[in-house]
Amino acid sequence: MLVTGAAKRLGREIALALAADGWQVAVHYRASADDAHKTVADCAAASGDKGIFHSAFQANLEDESAVRALLSEVVQTFGTVDAVVNSAAAFENDTADSFSFASMEHHWRSNTAAPVLLAQALHQHLLTRSAGADGTLPQGVVVNLLDQKLWNLNPDFFSYTLSKAALETAGTMLAMALAPRVRVVGVAPGLTLTSHLIDDATFAERHRLSPLGRSSTAADVAATVKFALDNRSLTGTTLVVDGGQHLMKFERDFSLM
């Protein structure tokens, strides 16, 4: 199991939950080596006495050659890989007025192109593996982290939103193209973790802005990722985990309201 962006924040929480569920986790990071190795250690603790080995892998997801090498490195270390969770993402604000080719390319490379290449690599890896004793061919899963913004559009974070919209469409196309060996599922959180853009009190207030009175927590998102991995009938669809925030109209992004 490869989880991108697993050194910090939501990727880390997903990695820990999957380790506790018995998965062997490859913790991807770009620059946060210390945080990544801490996540590896915490995954080992979450695995308990199951003797499951976890490891960290560095790659710049804006570098095509690094992305193409990443899954192979995980396979060399773990032997096989059955799933990829694409959690890493660039998230920088621009607008229709400040949009540029450079901003679009920055978000497109890490948020869209890298997940597509990793899905491609997982599919190619599975094609090299033999059927099990019962004749069943191994099947893999790709889970792409999306955003409830796609179902509740506003003009903030313009390039980021375009890159996630492209990834959502890519998920549908990949589910068709890579079946039956790879399932592809999207998970779209709402407001989940606070950031430097808003203080804790403001975060708590905005977290309550949903029909259910709460948006998603990291545990909610991790549980949904686990469900997507386990449910063999899911592919080519997205699970929106946001307390219903996508049903409400917001004129601005949560962090800029």
Residue 59's pLDDT is what? 98
Element (H, E) at 183: strand 182-189
- How is domain 2-256 classified at the architecture level of CATH? 3-Layer(aba) Sandwich (3.40)
Residue 195's pLDDT is: 79
Tell me if residue 52 falls in helix, strand or coil: coil
pLDDT for residue 133: 86
pTM of the model: 0.96
As a whole number of angstroms, the distance between CA 189 and CA 90 comes to: 16
CB-CB contact of 99 with 160 (8 Å): no
Q: Which segments in the chain show pLDDT lower than 50? A: none
User: What's the pLDDT tens digit per position in 93-133?
Assistant: 999 999 999 999 999 999 999 999 999 999 999 999 999 88
Predicted pLDDT at 193: 86
* pLDDT at residue number 164: 98
Query: 3-class SS at 28?
Result: strand
Q: What is the pLDDT of residue 203?
A: 83
Task: Please report the pLDDT score of residue 17 as a whole number.
Answer: 98
